[in-house]
Amino acid sequence: MATEYALRMGDGKRIYLTKEEILSEIEAGSSNASDLGEIPELSADEIDKLAEILMMPGKAVSVEQGMEVPVTHDIGTIRLDGDQGNSGVGIPSSRLVGCMTHERAFGADTMELGHIDYSFKPVKPVVSNECQAMEVCQQNMIIPLFYGAMPNMGLYYTPDGPFENPGDLMKMFKIDKARESMEHAAEHLTRDTVWVMQKLFASGADGVNFDTTAAAGDADMYGTLRAVEILRAQFPDIYIEVGMAGEMVLGMHGELEYDEVRLAGLWPHEQAPLVAKAGANVFGPVCNTNTSKTSAWNLARAVTFIRATVEASSIPCHVNMGMGVGGIPMLETPPIDAVTRASKAMVEIAGVDGI
């Protein structure tokens, strides 16, 4: 009987595969990324290396000594003190305690402060509170401390915001009106983000992390890139990280361009040059996890996309590797065996500059 190795499905469920099955899954996953992104598949050596990582006997694996990379953090201290049934664990603690815990107890390489809603728009009425928290944290912290939030352009549409919901307009075939609404929302997103970050930078923030960019589609990305451009011009030395929401920019608008490149339908390796052009220092590419596929398929697909992105990018790439992205199972408690294997593969095969 052939030896079987313990792997995971994309939803985290334990499965057992033979070496031949693992190799076949890796080839299929890599081929899927190659077809979609028109990028090279993993080489035979890379496929062997990935299979070797997946078949390692230990529960947790790690990169070879000397190959470690900075691990940056999104969501801020909400990981500890937040709890909306997602990734927060609801430990009553201040944000200063959360930041210092990450720095001194967890070994984080960077950290960030974020509002409990973790979107830029709701920060506006409480920005002074955020500035106070940033000042107190900066006085005590040593590692780079960002302010992080989601552009989350959906908050600018009815019923949460002032502009008519493009989804409703499109259902009525009012396509031009829907596009207008998205353009207005993008303008407001840019304006609000710049305003919030001007205040936070004046309070000592090391930088800004735009987390889940393009969640509301191409206009969301357009508004974010414009904000990056404006902030870079105003604050030449500030750190700017742009992390994506998904692997491909959804063409909700369909015609928006940045630097004469249409945003709709861009894959990670096509997004990176635009993010660099806007003035960001670090790009956070995403590859989605398919819960119906194996971890071998998902990780091979993610590594293929991210390797191409690292090559295409002129700035460092810190790949997104939270729940449901970057080959990590879609589960609020991702199994350590799957997380550490994905981590090792991204560093040693995709060549990322950070996670």
Nearer to another protein (CB atom), residue 75 or residue 189 = 75
Sign, CA dihedral 226-227-233-234, equals: positive
Of the candidates 179, 191, 175, the residue with the CA atom closest to the CA atom of residue 217? 179
Nearer to another protein (CB atom), residue 147 or residue 258 = 147
Nearer to another protein (CB atom), residue 107 or residue 159 = 107
Of the candidates 276, 267, 231, the residue with the CA atom closest to the CA atom of residue 249? 267
Q: How far is the CB of 206 from another protein (least distance, A)?
A: 6
Q: How far is the CB of 63 from another protein (least distance, A)?
A: 5
Alpha helices in 154-294 (DSSP H): 166-171, 175-202, 218-234, 268-278
Q: How far is the CB of 8 from another protein (least distance, A)?
A: 13
Q: How far is the CB of 325 from another protein (least distance, A)?
A: 11
- Identify whether 159 is preceded by a cis peptide bond (ω within 30 of 0): yes
Q: How far is the CB of 110 from another protein (least distance, A)?
A: 5
For the chain, state the CA radius of gyration.
20
Helix, strand, coil shares of the chain, percent, nearest 5, are: 45, 15, 40
- Identify whether 268 is preceded by a cis peptide bond (ω within 30 of 0): no
Q: Give the strand pairing for 14-18 and 4-8.
A: antiparallel
Q: How long, in residues, is the chain?
A: 355
Give me the residues that bind another protein (CB under 8 A), please: 60-63, 65-73, 79, 103-110, 138-145, 201-207, 237-239, 241, 281-282, 314-316, 321-323, 328, 333-334, 336, 339-340, 343-344, 346-347, 352-355
Nearer to another protein (CB atom), residue 181 or residue 224 = 224
Nearer to another protein (CB atom), residue 165 or residue 313 = 313
Nearer to another protein (CB atom), residue 77 or residue 152 = 77
Q: Give the strand pairing for 111-113 and 14-18.
A: unpaired
Q: How far is the CB of 177 from another protein (least distance, A)?
A: 41
Task: Please report how the helices 295-312 and 336-345 are oriented relative to each other, as an axis angle in degrees rounded to 10.
Answer: 30
Asked if 238 contacts 208 with a C-beta cutoff of 8 angstroms, the reply is yes
Question: Measured at the alpha carbon of residue 352, what is the angle toward residues 288 and 243, in degrees to the nearest 5?
Answer: 50
Nearer to another protein (CB atom), residue 28 or residue 96 = 96
> In whole angstroms, what is the distance from residue 169 CA to residue 156 CA?
15
Q: How far is the CB of 172 from another protein (least distance, A)?
A: 42
Q: How far is the CB of 114 from another protein (least distance, A)?
A: 14
Nearer to another protein (CB atom), residue 32 or residue 343 = 343
Of the candidates 220, 296, 297, the residue with the CA atom closest to the CA atom of residue 256? 220
Nearer to another protein (CB atom), residue 204 or residue 251 = 204
Of the candidates 262, 242, 243, 241, the residue with the CA atom closest to the CA atom of residue 252? 262
Q: How far is the CB of 249 from another protein (least distance, A)?
A: 23
